[in-house]
Protein backbone atom coordinates (compact mmCIF):
# COMPACT_ATOMS: atom_id res chain seq x y z
CA UNK A 1 0.00 0.00 0.00
CA UNK A 2 1.40 3.38 -1.04
CA UNK A 3 1.80 6.26 1.40
CA UNK A 4 -0.46 8.42 -0.78
CA UNK A 5 -3.31 5.92 -0.95
CA UNK A 6 -6.56 7.39 0.38
CA UNK A 7 -9.11 4.61 -0.18
CA UNK A 8 -9.88 3.10 3.22
CA UNK A 9 -13.36 1.67 2.68
CA UNK A 10 -15.31 -0.58 0.29
CA UNK A 11 -16.65 1.06 -2.89
CA UNK A 12 -19.38 -0.43 -5.11
CA UNK A 13 -18.77 0.12 -8.81
CA UNK A 14 -21.91 -1.90 -9.55
CA UNK A 15 -24.40 -2.41 -6.73
CA UNK A 16 -27.67 -3.07 -8.53
CA UNK A 17 -28.85 -6.58 -9.35
CA UNK A 18 -30.72 -7.68 -12.48
CA UNK A 19 -32.87 -9.85 -10.23
CA UNK A 20 -34.74 -6.79 -8.99
CA UNK A 21 -35.73 -5.93 -12.54
CA UNK A 22 -36.85 -9.53 -13.07
CA UNK A 23 -39.01 -9.42 -9.92
CA UNK A 24 -40.55 -6.10 -11.03
CA UNK A 25 -41.49 -7.62 -14.40
CA UNK A 26 -43.04 -10.63 -12.67
CA UNK A 27 -45.02 -8.32 -10.39
CA UNK A 28 -46.45 -6.47 -13.38
CA UNK A 29 -47.41 -9.76 -15.05
CA UNK A 30 -48.94 -11.10 -11.86
CA UNK A 31 -51.49 -8.25 -11.89
CA UNK A 32 -52.61 -9.36 -15.35
CA UNK A 33 -52.58 -13.12 -14.71
CA UNK A 34 -55.13 -15.46 -13.16
CA UNK A 35 -55.51 -19.08 -12.12
CA UNK A 36 -52.53 -21.40 -12.35
CA UNK A 37 -50.43 -18.83 -14.19
CA UNK A 38 -50.84 -16.35 -11.33
CA UNK A 39 -49.87 -19.04 -8.81
CA UNK A 40 -46.74 -19.92 -10.80
CA UNK A 41 -45.69 -16.30 -11.16
CA UNK A 42 -46.18 -15.90 -7.42
CA UNK A 43 -43.94 -18.92 -6.78
CA UNK A 44 -41.33 -17.59 -9.17
CA UNK A 45 -41.35 -14.21 -7.40
CA UNK A 46 -40.84 -15.86 -4.02
CA UNK A 47 -37.89 -17.91 -5.25
CA UNK A 48 -36.27 -14.93 -6.95
CA UNK A 49 -36.86 -12.75 -3.89
CA UNK A 50 -35.29 -15.42 -1.68
CA UNK A 51 -32.13 -15.40 -3.77
CA UNK A 52 -32.09 -11.61 -3.86
CA UNK A 53 -32.41 -11.47 -0.08
CA UNK A 54 -29.36 -13.71 0.31
CA UNK A 55 -27.28 -11.53 -2.01
CA UNK A 56 -28.39 -8.41 -0.15
CA UNK A 57 -27.09 -9.94 3.09
CA UNK A 58 -23.69 -10.42 1.46
CA UNK A 59 -23.73 -6.89 0.04
CA UNK A 60 -24.42 -5.56 3.55
CA UNK A 61 -21.48 -7.51 5.00
CA UNK A 62 -19.12 -6.24 2.30
CA UNK A 63 -20.34 -2.67 2.59
CA UNK A 64 -19.63 -2.65 6.32
CA UNK A 65 -16.30 -4.45 6.16
CA UNK A 66 -14.08 -1.38 6.42
CA UNK A 67 -11.74 -3.01 3.89
CA UNK A 68 -10.37 -0.88 1.02
CA UNK A 69 -11.75 -2.67 -2.04
CA UNK A 70 -13.97 -2.33 -5.09
CA UNK A 71 -17.12 -4.46 -5.37
CA UNK A 72 -19.02 -5.55 -8.48
CA UNK A 73 -22.40 -7.22 -8.05
CA UNK A 74 -24.29 -9.46 -10.48
CA UNK A 75 -21.75 -9.67 -13.30
CA UNK A 76 -22.61 -11.61 -16.46
CA UNK A 77 -19.73 -12.84 -18.63
CA UNK A 78 -19.83 -14.45 -22.07
CA UNK A 79 -17.17 -15.85 -24.37
CA UNK A 80 -17.71 -18.26 -27.26
CA UNK A 81 -20.40 -20.67 -26.03
CA UNK A 82 -19.54 -20.16 -22.35
CA UNK A 83 -21.26 -17.85 -19.87
CA UNK A 84 -21.13 -17.11 -16.15
CA UNK A 85 -23.44 -15.22 -13.81
CA UNK A 86 -21.24 -14.11 -10.92
CA UNK A 87 -22.88 -12.84 -7.73
CA UNK A 88 -19.93 -10.70 -6.58
CA UNK A 89 -16.42 -9.84 -7.74
CA UNK A 90 -14.37 -8.17 -5.00
CA UNK A 91 -11.11 -6.43 -5.92
CA UNK A 92 -8.76 -5.88 -2.98
CA UNK A 93 -5.22 -4.55 -3.04
CA UNK A 94 -3.79 -8.08 -3.30
CA UNK A 95 -6.47 -10.58 -4.30
CA UNK A 96 -9.57 -10.67 -6.52
CA UNK A 97 -12.40 -12.73 -5.03
CA UNK A 98 -15.17 -14.37 -7.08
CA UNK A 99 -18.08 -14.97 -4.72
CA UNK A 100 -21.02 -17.34 -5.14
CA UNK A 101 -23.90 -16.66 -2.77
CA UNK A 102 -26.13 -19.55 -1.60
CA UNK A 103 -29.26 -18.82 0.44
CA UNK A 104 -30.02 -22.45 1.30
CA UNK A 105 -32.68 -23.82 3.62
CA UNK A 106 -31.35 -26.46 5.99
CA UNK A 107 -27.91 -27.43 7.25
CA UNK A 108 -24.90 -28.31 5.11
CA UNK A 109 -22.38 -31.10 5.74
CA UNK A 110 -19.26 -31.50 3.59
CA UNK A 111 -17.62 -34.92 3.77
CA UNK A 112 -13.99 -35.90 3.16
CA UNK A 113 -14.71 -36.51 -0.53
CA UNK A 114 -15.98 -32.97 -1.01
CA UNK A 115 -19.63 -33.98 -1.34
CA UNK A 116 -22.28 -31.54 -0.12
CA UNK A 117 -25.15 -33.04 1.88
CA UNK A 118 -28.11 -30.91 2.89
CA UNK A 119 -30.44 -31.80 5.78
CA UNK A 120 -33.80 -30.13 6.28
CA UNK A 121 -37.30 -30.85 7.55
CA UNK A 122 -40.15 -31.61 5.16
CA UNK A 123 -43.65 -32.58 6.31
CA UNK A 124 -42.33 -33.12 9.82
CA UNK A 125 -39.57 -35.49 8.70
CA UNK A 126 -35.84 -34.99 8.36
CA UNK A 127 -34.65 -35.20 4.75
CA UNK A 128 -31.01 -35.68 3.77
CA UNK A 129 -29.90 -35.24 0.16
CA UNK A 130 -26.83 -34.48 -1.90
CA UNK A 131 -26.69 -31.18 -3.76
CA UNK A 132 -24.60 -29.98 -6.67
CA UNK A 133 -21.30 -28.65 -5.39
CA UNK A 134 -21.33 -24.83 -5.30
CA UNK A 135 -17.52 -25.01 -5.36
CA UNK A 136 -17.67 -26.68 -8.77
CA UNK A 137 -20.23 -24.13 -9.92
CA UNK A 138 -18.06 -21.21 -8.88
CA UNK A 139 -14.96 -22.81 -10.37
CA UNK A 140 -16.72 -22.79 -13.72
CA UNK A 141 -17.32 -19.07 -13.26
CA UNK A 142 -13.62 -18.62 -12.59
CA UNK A 143 -12.70 -20.56 -15.71
CA UNK A 144 -14.89 -18.30 -17.86
CA UNK A 145 -13.21 -15.27 -16.33
CA UNK A 146 -9.78 -16.85 -16.82
CA UNK A 147 -10.47 -17.52 -20.51
CA UNK A 148 -11.71 -13.98 -21.14
CA UNK A 149 -8.74 -12.39 -19.42
CA UNK A 150 -6.22 -14.76 -21.00
CA UNK A 151 -7.60 -14.27 -24.52
CA UNK A 152 -7.22 -10.52 -24.10
CA UNK A 153 -3.43 -10.98 -23.86
CA UNK A 154 -1.84 -10.68 -27.29
CA UNK A 155 1.67 -11.64 -26.23
CA UNK A 156 2.46 -15.34 -25.63
CA UNK A 157 4.76 -14.46 -22.72
CA UNK A 158 2.01 -12.39 -21.09
CA UNK A 159 -0.37 -15.34 -21.45
CA UNK A 160 2.12 -17.62 -19.69
CA UNK A 161 2.65 -15.16 -16.85
CA UNK A 162 -1.11 -14.70 -16.48
CA UNK A 163 -1.67 -18.48 -16.27
CA UNK A 164 1.07 -18.83 -13.68
CA UNK A 165 -0.30 -16.08 -11.42
CA UNK A 166 -4.04 -16.62 -11.90
CA UNK A 167 -4.59 -19.03 -8.99
CA UNK A 168 -2.65 -16.75 -6.66
CA UNK A 169 -4.49 -13.59 -7.71
CA UNK A 170 -8.05 -14.94 -8.12
CA UNK A 171 -9.80 -16.81 -5.30
CA UNK A 172 -13.18 -18.56 -5.16
CA UNK A 173 -15.47 -18.18 -2.15
CA UNK A 174 -18.87 -19.82 -1.64
CA UNK A 175 -20.86 -17.93 1.00
CA UNK A 176 -23.87 -19.42 2.80
CA UNK A 177 -26.02 -16.35 3.35
CA UNK A 178 -28.85 -17.90 5.39
CA UNK A 179 -27.98 -17.06 9.05
CA UNK A 180 -29.88 -20.16 10.23
CA UNK A 181 -27.78 -22.57 8.17
CA UNK A 182 -25.31 -24.67 10.16
CA UNK A 183 -22.15 -25.53 8.22
CA UNK A 184 -20.31 -28.69 9.24
CA UNK A 185 -17.03 -29.05 7.35
CA UNK A 186 -14.96 -30.81 10.00
CA UNK A 187 -14.28 -33.78 7.72
CA UNK A 188 -13.71 -31.72 4.58
CA UNK A 189 -10.26 -31.27 3.11
CA UNK A 190 -8.52 -27.98 3.82
CA UNK A 191 -8.81 -26.73 0.24
CA UNK A 192 -12.57 -27.23 0.48
CA UNK A 193 -12.89 -25.61 3.91
CA UNK A 194 -11.06 -22.55 2.60
CA UNK A 195 -13.70 -22.04 -0.09
CA UNK A 196 -16.99 -22.38 1.83
CA UNK A 197 -17.93 -20.04 4.68
CA UNK A 198 -20.90 -18.45 6.38
CA UNK A 199 -21.79 -14.82 5.70
CA UNK A 200 -20.63 -13.65 9.14
CA UNK A 201 -17.15 -15.05 8.40
CA UNK A 202 -16.74 -13.37 5.01
CA UNK A 203 -14.86 -10.20 5.91
CA UNK A 204 -12.50 -11.99 8.28
CA UNK A 205 -11.84 -14.58 5.57
CA UNK A 206 -11.01 -11.89 3.01
CA UNK A 207 -8.57 -10.27 5.41
CA UNK A 208 -6.88 -13.59 6.18
CA UNK A 209 -6.44 -14.53 2.50
CA UNK A 210 -5.05 -11.10 1.67
CA UNK A 211 -2.72 -11.28 4.68
CA UNK A 212 -1.26 -14.58 3.45
CA UNK A 213 -0.90 -13.47 -0.16
CA UNK A 214 2.59 -12.88 -1.56
CA UNK A 215 1.27 -10.65 -4.35
CA UNK A 216 2.39 -7.03 -4.50
CA UNK A 217 -0.23 -4.64 -3.12
CA UNK A 218 -1.98 -2.41 -5.65
CA UNK A 219 -2.24 1.31 -5.03
CA UNK A 220 -5.51 3.24 -5.34
CA UNK A 221 -5.16 3.87 -9.06
CA UNK A 222 -4.19 0.29 -9.89
CA UNK A 223 -6.96 -1.23 -7.80
CA UNK A 224 -9.60 0.98 -9.42
CA UNK A 225 -8.23 0.24 -12.89
CA UNK A 226 -8.49 -3.52 -12.27
CA UNK A 227 -12.07 -3.19 -11.03
CA UNK A 228 -13.12 -1.00 -13.95
CA UNK A 229 -11.53 -3.48 -16.37
CA UNK A 230 -13.58 -6.31 -14.87
CA UNK A 231 -16.75 -4.23 -14.97
CA UNK A 232 -16.14 -3.56 -18.68
CA UNK A 233 -16.39 -7.32 -19.27
CA UNK A 234 -19.97 -7.34 -18.00
CA UNK A 235 -22.64 -7.91 -20.64
CA UNK A 236 -26.26 -7.82 -19.42
CA UNK A 237 -27.99 -11.19 -19.65
CA UNK A 238 -30.24 -11.00 -22.71
CA UNK A 239 -32.38 -13.98 -21.72
CA UNK A 240 -35.92 -12.87 -20.89
CA UNK A 241 -37.37 -15.48 -18.55
CA UNK A 242 -40.67 -13.59 -18.26
CA UNK A 243 -41.44 -14.03 -21.96
CA UNK A 244 -43.19 -17.37 -21.40
CA UNK A 245 -45.65 -15.72 -19.02
CA UNK A 246 -46.26 -12.81 -21.40
CA UNK A 247 -47.15 -15.27 -24.14
CA UNK A 248 -49.53 -17.17 -21.85
CA UNK A 249 -51.29 -14.00 -20.71
CA UNK A 250 -51.48 -12.81 -24.32
CA UNK A 251 -53.17 -16.05 -25.33
CA UNK A 252 -55.64 -15.71 -22.49
CA UNK A 253 -56.63 -12.21 -23.61
CA UNK A 254 -57.29 -13.51 -27.13
CA UNK A 255 -59.29 -16.67 -26.48
CA UNK A 256 -60.15 -16.25 -22.78
CA UNK A 257 -58.76 -19.68 -22.03
CA UNK A 258 -55.54 -20.75 -20.36
CA UNK A 259 -53.24 -23.25 -22.07
CA UNK A 260 -53.26 -26.64 -20.43
CA UNK A 261 -49.49 -27.09 -20.58
CA UNK A 262 -47.12 -24.46 -19.27
CA UNK A 263 -43.42 -25.28 -19.29
CA UNK A 264 -41.56 -23.40 -16.58
CA UNK A 265 -38.56 -25.71 -16.42
CA UNK A 266 -36.29 -23.13 -18.06
CA UNK A 267 -36.60 -20.69 -15.18
CA UNK A 268 -33.27 -19.69 -13.62
CA UNK A 269 -34.76 -19.86 -10.12
CA UNK A 270 -37.25 -22.72 -9.79
CA UNK A 271 -35.51 -25.62 -11.53
CA UNK A 272 -33.34 -26.83 -8.65
CA UNK A 273 -35.93 -26.06 -5.99
CA UNK A 274 -38.70 -27.95 -7.78
CA UNK A 275 -36.51 -30.98 -8.48
CA UNK A 276 -35.28 -31.05 -4.88
CA UNK A 277 -38.83 -30.83 -3.49
CA UNK A 278 -40.07 -33.64 -5.72
CA UNK A 279 -37.07 -35.82 -4.84
CA UNK A 280 -37.56 -35.14 -1.14
CA UNK A 281 -41.22 -36.16 -1.36
CA UNK A 282 -40.27 -39.29 -3.32
CA UNK A 283 -37.65 -40.29 -0.76
CA UNK A 284 -39.98 -39.72 2.18
CA UNK A 285 -42.79 -41.78 0.67
CA UNK A 286 -40.46 -44.62 -0.35
CA UNK A 287 -39.26 -44.88 3.24
CA UNK A 288 -42.78 -44.78 4.62
CA UNK A 289 -43.89 -47.55 2.26
CA UNK A 290 -40.59 -49.46 2.33
CA UNK A 291 -40.23 -49.46 -1.45
CA UNK A 292 -37.65 -48.17 -3.93
CA UNK A 293 -37.96 -44.42 -4.69
CA UNK A 294 -38.39 -45.05 -8.42
CA UNK A 295 -41.60 -46.97 -7.68
CA UNK A 296 -43.12 -43.59 -6.71
CA UNK A 297 -41.79 -42.00 -9.91
CA UNK A 298 -38.44 -42.20 -11.68
CA UNK A 299 -36.35 -39.27 -12.89
CA UNK A 300 -37.81 -39.39 -16.41
CA UNK A 301 -41.34 -39.24 -15.01
CA UNK A 302 -40.29 -36.39 -12.71
CA UNK A 303 -39.07 -34.35 -15.68
CA UNK A 304 -42.35 -35.08 -17.46
CA UNK A 305 -44.13 -33.73 -14.38
CA UNK A 306 -42.13 -30.51 -14.54
CA UNK A 307 -42.63 -30.19 -18.28
CA UNK A 308 -46.41 -30.67 -18.18
CA UNK A 309 -47.09 -28.96 -14.82
CA UNK A 310 -50.50 -30.59 -14.26
CA UNK A 311 -53.03 -28.60 -12.27
CA UNK A 312 -55.45 -31.39 -11.35
CA UNK A 313 -55.50 -35.13 -10.74
CA UNK A 314 -57.07 -35.60 -14.15
CA UNK A 315 -54.21 -33.71 -15.81
CA UNK A 316 -51.74 -35.64 -13.67
CA UNK A 317 -52.84 -38.84 -15.42
CA UNK A 318 -51.39 -37.46 -18.68
CA UNK A 319 -47.92 -37.64 -17.12
CA UNK A 320 -45.84 -40.70 -17.93
CA UNK A 321 -46.26 -43.36 -15.23
CA UNK A 322 -49.27 -41.80 -13.50
CA UNK A 323 -52.50 -43.75 -13.77
CA UNK A 324 -55.73 -43.23 -11.78
CA UNK A 325 -54.47 -45.14 -8.69
CA UNK A 326 -51.12 -43.35 -8.37
CA UNK A 327 -52.68 -39.97 -9.21
CA UNK A 328 -55.26 -40.42 -6.46
CA UNK A 329 -52.69 -41.69 -3.96
CA UNK A 330 -50.01 -39.04 -4.42
CA UNK A 331 -51.81 -36.36 -6.41
CA UNK A 332 -52.66 -33.84 -3.70
CA UNK A 333 -49.10 -33.45 -2.42
CA UNK A 334 -47.49 -33.52 -5.88
CA UNK A 335 -49.88 -30.87 -7.18
CA UNK A 336 -49.16 -28.83 -4.08
CA UNK A 337 -45.41 -29.02 -4.75
CA UNK A 338 -45.84 -27.99 -8.39
CA UNK A 339 -48.04 -25.03 -7.46
CA UNK A 340 -45.72 -23.90 -4.68
CA UNK A 341 -48.25 -24.51 -1.92
CA UNK A 342 -46.34 -27.41 -0.35
The pLDDT value given to residue 261: 41
Phi, psi angles (nearest 5°) of residue 65: -80, -30
Query: 116, 39, 73: which is closest to 272 by C-alpha?
Result: 116
What is the average pLDDT value for the chain, to the nearest integer? 85
Of 129-143, 252-266, 281-295, the one with minimum mean pLDDT is: 252-266
Counting Cα atoms < 13 Å in the Cβ hemisphere of 20 gives 9
Phi, psi angles (nearest 5°) of residue 79: -155, 130
**Which of the four pLDDT bands, split at 50, 70 and 90, describes residue 221?**
very high
**Which of the four pLDDT bands, split at 50, 70 and 90, describes residue 255?**
very low
Query: 226, 227, 183, 229: which is closest to 202 by C-alpha?
Result: 183
The pLDDT value given to residue 273: 67
Average pLDDT over residues 64-73: 96
Q: Give CA–CA dist 273/278, Å, rounded.
A: 9
The pLDDT value given to residue 341: 56
More confident position, 268 or 93: 93
Q: Give CA–CA dist 141/29, Å, rounded.
A: 32
What would the pLDDT profile of 134-160 be if each residue is shown by its tens digit? 999 999 999 999 999 999 988 899 899
The pLDDT value given to residue 123: 67
Write the burial class of residue 293 (CB in 10 Å: 0-12 exposed, 13-18 middle, 19+ buried). middle
Of 32-46, 59-73, 129-143, the one with minimum mean pLDDT is: 32-46
Beta bridge partners of 100: 174
Q: Give CA–CA dist 339/300, Å, rounded.
A: 20
pTM of the entire predicted model: 0.71
Percent of the chain beyond pLDDT 90?
42
- Give me the helices (H) in the chain, please: 18-32, 35-63, 134-151, 156-169, 190-193, 202-212, 220-232, 243-255, 270-289, 293-296, 299-308, 313-316, 324-339
The pLDDT value given to residue 257: 47
- For the chain, the distance separating the N- and C-terminal CA atoms, rounded to the nearest angstrom, is 54
More confident position, 236 or 77: 77
Average pLDDT over residues 165-180: 93
Q: Which domains does the chain have, with CATH numbers?
A: 10-232 (no CATH), 260-339 (1.10.150.80)
The pLDDT value given to residue 287: 87
The pLDDT value given to residue 49: 85
Which of 117-131, 138-152, 245-259 holds the top average pLDDT?
138-152
Amino acid sequence: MGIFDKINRPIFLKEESDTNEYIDKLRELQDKASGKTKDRIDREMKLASYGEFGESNIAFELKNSGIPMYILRDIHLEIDDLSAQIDFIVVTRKVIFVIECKNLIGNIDINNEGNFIRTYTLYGRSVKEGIYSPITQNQRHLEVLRKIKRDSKTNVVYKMIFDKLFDENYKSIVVLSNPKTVLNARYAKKEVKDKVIRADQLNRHIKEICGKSNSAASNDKEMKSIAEGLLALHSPNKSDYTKKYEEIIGSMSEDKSEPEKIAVYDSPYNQDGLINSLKAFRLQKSREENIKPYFIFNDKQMMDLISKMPGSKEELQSVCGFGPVKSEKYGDIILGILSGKE
